Amino acid sequence: MTDFPNFPVLDFDPDSEAVISPPKKDIPGGFPDRAVICFFREVIEKVAMEHGAKKISSVSSEGGEHPIYEIEHKGKRLAFFFPGVGAPLAAGLMEEVIALGASAFIACGGCGVLDRSIAVGHLLVPTAAIRGEGTSYHYMPPSKEVLADADALQAIESTLNARGVAYRLTKTWTTDAFYRETPAKVRKYRAEGCLAVEMEAAAFMAVARFRGVRFGMILYGGDLVQVEGWDHRDWHDRTEIREQLFWLAADACLEQKTQLTGEDHA
Q: How many domains does the chain have?
A: 1
Q: Is residue 125 part of a domain?
A: yes
Q: Do the domain assignments include residue 16?
A: no
Between 41-50 and 239-255, two packed helices, what is the crossing angle to 10 degrees?
A: 70
DSSP 102-128: --EEEEEEEEEES-TTS-TT-EEEEEE
Q: With CA atoms as reference, report the closest residue to 83 among 36, 128, 121.
A: 36
pLDDT digits (tens, 9 = 90+) for 206-249: 999 999 999 999 999 987 777 777 667 675 666 788 999 999 99
Please give the pLDDT value at position 226.
Answer: 73
Q: Which of the 8 DSSP states describes residue 155? A: H
Lowest mean pLDDT among 149-158, 179-188, 226-235: 226-235
The residue among 135, 145, 162, 152 whose CA lies nearest residue 218 is 152
What is the CB-side half-sphere exposure of residue 151 using CA atoms within 13 A?
Answer: 21
pTM score of the predicted model: 0.92
Gap between the Cα atoms of 35 and 63, Å rounded: 22
What average pLDDT is seen over the chain?
Answer: 90
Structural domain includes residue 199:
yes
Q: Which domain holds residue 237?
A: 30-259
* Domain CATH code at residue 87: 3.40.50.1580
pLDDT band at 28 (very low <50, low <70, confident <90, very high): confident
- For residue 126, give every residue at least 6 positions away whose Cβ sits within 8 Å of its Cβ, in sequence order, or none: 148, 170, 171, 172, 196, 201, 217, 219
| pLDDT above 50 (res 266) | no
Instruction: Please determine, for residue 11, whether its predicted confidence score (pLDDT) is greater than 80.
Output: yes
Q: What is the pLDDT of residues 90-126, one digit of tens each?
A: 999 999 999 999 999 999 999 999 998 898 889 999 9
Residue with the bigger pLDDT between 161 and 258: it is: 161
* pLDDT over 90, % of the chain: 72
Return the SS3 of 179: helix
What is 11-48 written as a DSSP string? Answer: -----S--SS-PPP---TT---SEEEEES-HHHHHHHH
Which one-letter DSSP state was computed for residue 224?
A: E
Residue 266 placed within a domain: no
Q: Is residue 84 part of a domain?
A: yes
The answer as to whether 50 is a domain residue is yes
